[in-house]
Amino acid sequence: MHHAQQDFSIFLARREAVSTDFINGKPEGLLKLSTHHDSTTIFPPSEARIRGADQVNDANENGARSFGKGSTAHFEIFQRGSSGDIGFWTGIQQKNTFMKGHPEPVAMGLRTTEVFRREGSQWVLVHRHADTMTQAKS
Model confidence at 127: pLDDT above 50: yes
For residue 39, give the 3-state DSSP assignment: coil
* pTM of the predicted model as reported, rounded to 2 decimal places: 0.90
- Strands 106-119 and 86-99, bridge-based pairing: antiparallel
Give the span between the Cα atoms of 63 and 48, in whole angstroms: 12
Residues sharing a CB contact under 8 Å with residue 121, sequence separation 6 or more, in sequence order: none
Report whether 35 contacts 124 (CB < 8 A).
yes
At residue 115, the pLDDT reads 98
Residue 98, exposed/middle/buried by CB under 10 A (0-12, 13-18, 19+)? buried
Give the span between the Cα atoms of 24 and 48, in whole angstroms: 22
pLDDT in tens, 19-48: 999 999 999 999 999 999 988 999 999 889
